[in-house]
Structure 1
Amino acid sequence: MAGDVVDLIMQDHREVERLFHELERHPEKRPLLVPVLSSLLTAHSRAEEAEVYPAAKGEADEAEDVAHGQKEHAEAEQLLAKLNETEPESKQFEKVLSDLVEAVTHHVKEEESTVLPKMRRELTEARRRELGKAFVSSRTSHLGARPGEATKRELLTQARNAGVTGASKMDKDEIAREVAKSS
């Protein structure tokens, strides 16, 4: 049984931090750890976007922070895609990893100081557990998803979260550009 969505999100944050630490300290593990990080971070982001952000926006009155968080997700996904394309032994890898760590750490700090505490205060425990179940299910369905390969439906969700207007009339590439531009 899934738990409180706030706790589940924070558990994922700690796991991502652990993976960052391993990537920074053990370059020899990078070829194995980058796909793990990519899968977890992409699945986590997509589950938040699909299940958590709409509830935070509508039920916890967090529209501005959700739009900001969506923009940060887009930035992290771009960096994650770049990390996947970079040779683990190169100096460029160090730079991209550093940029990704900085962006994600900033996002986590903001999310854990604004959106998550407000969700804990504003939503009932039963609602947070319901969202936890939906979050886990969505995250599980997105495991294995690759950064930069969002479906049109996922991009529409990202656009809605980021406050991009008119996305439903755009094709997939146009939506992706607008979401990226908003970040």
Structure 2
Amino acid sequence: MNDVVELIMKDHREVERLFEQLRTDPASRPGALPVLTTLLFAHSRAEESEVYPVVADEVGASDHVEHSQEEHVEADELLAKLADTDPESPEFLTALEEVVKAVSHHIEEEEETVLADMRGGLSDERRAELGAAFLATREQHLGEQPEDITRDELRQQAANMDVPQPRGTTKDELQQKLREEASK
């Protein structure tokens, strides 16, 4: 069975392993950095589109979803900054530590809230259904980077954060609004 909670936690452990590799093995950074950024991007988009709406609607944990979504917006911004930093530069470790701090905090909170909410509020069968949907969406996004986010994905983030989306809002305007909301 592909329990969505176990799949998410497996990704979390892989992210932590990549953080350690990037910290301790400078020679691996040019190859490991795109692996980290694409994994986090794909993981986040899958949670946002498949998991978070279910947790908000079926489990009634919209506050936890909103907070987790805000942290995704922050992580996307930090990942984009890290991806633009030369892995051999002195600034790389500083940018990496910003990502590690934000993402590690998110992982800890998400495992204590959203994942616990799913374990307590969804049947094994429903978690398996979500696991299949999570894997399919994650697979679609593998290879993408934070700058590849679409307007529809930004709209999903806004819905998860309960941020109004006036008609005619451009992708850049929506992205800016999400950043502002996440930094409050």
8 Å Cα contact 2:165/2:174 also seen in 1: no
Alignment-derived partner of residue 83 in structure 1: 82
- Match of 2:146, SS state, is coil
For residues 126-153 of structure 1, the C-alpha deviation after alignment (integer angstroms, 9 at most, x for no partner) is 0000000000000000001111321111
For residues 100-150 of structure 1, the C-alpha deviation after alignment (integer angstroms, 9 at most, x for no partner) is 000000000000001101111110000000000000000000001111321
Provide the rounded CA distance (Å) in 2 between the counterparts of 1:5 and 1:82.
Answer: 29
Count residues in correspondence: 182
Alignment-derived partner of residue 111 in structure 2: 112
Letter paired with 2:33 = V
Letter paired with 1:48 = E
- Match of 1:148, SS state, is helix
State which drifts further: 173-182 or 133-142: 173-182
Stretches of structure 1 that go unaligned for 5 or more consecutive residues are none
User: Structure 2 vs 1, CA of residues 147 and 48 (structure 1 numbering), >3 Å: closer, same or farther?
Assistant: same
Q: How does 1:134-145 map to 2 (within 5 A)?
A: 134-145=133-144
For residues 148-176 of structure 1, the C-alpha deviation after alignment (integer angstroms, 9 at most, x for no partner) is 32111101001111111125541111111
User: Structure 2 vs 1, CA of residues 168 and 119 (structure 1 numbering), >3 Å: closer, same or farther?
Assistant: farther
8 Å Cα contact 1:5/1:129 also seen in 2: yes
Letter paired with 2:117 = K
Provide the rounded CA distance (Å) in 2 between the counterparts of 1:167 and 1:59.
Answer: 26
8 Å Cα contact 1:156/1:168 also seen in 2: no
8 Å Cα contact 1:4/1:132 also seen in 2: yes
Q: How does 1:15-30 map to 2 (within 5 A)?
A: 15-30=14-29
Alignment-derived partner of residue 128 in structure 2: 129
User: Structure 2 vs 1, CA of residues 167 and 139 (structure 1 numbering), >3 Å: closer, same or farther?
Assistant: farther
Stretches of structure 2 that go unaligned for 5 or more consecutive residues are none
CA RMSD of aligned residues (A): 1.0
Runs (4+) of structure 1 exceeding 6 A deviation are none
Percent identity for Structure 1 against Structure 2: 49
Report the TM-score, using the length of structure 2 for normalisation. 0.96
Query: Is residue 38 of structure 1 aligned with residue 37 of structure 2?
Result: yes
Q: How does 1:50-61 map to 2 (within 5 A)?
A: 50-61=49-60
8 Å Cα contact 2:158/2:165 also seen in 1: no
Provide the rounded CA distance (Å) in 2 between the counterparts of 1:57 and 1:148.
Answer: 27
Letter paired with 1:178 = K
Provide the rounded CA distance (Å) in 1 between the counterparts of 2:154 and 2:121.
Answer: 28
Provide the rounded CA distance (Å) in 1 between the counterparts of 2:148 and 2:116.
Answer: 31
State which drifts further: 142-151 or 37-46: 142-151
Letter paired with 2:174 = I
8 Å Cα contact 1:156/1:167 also seen in 2: no
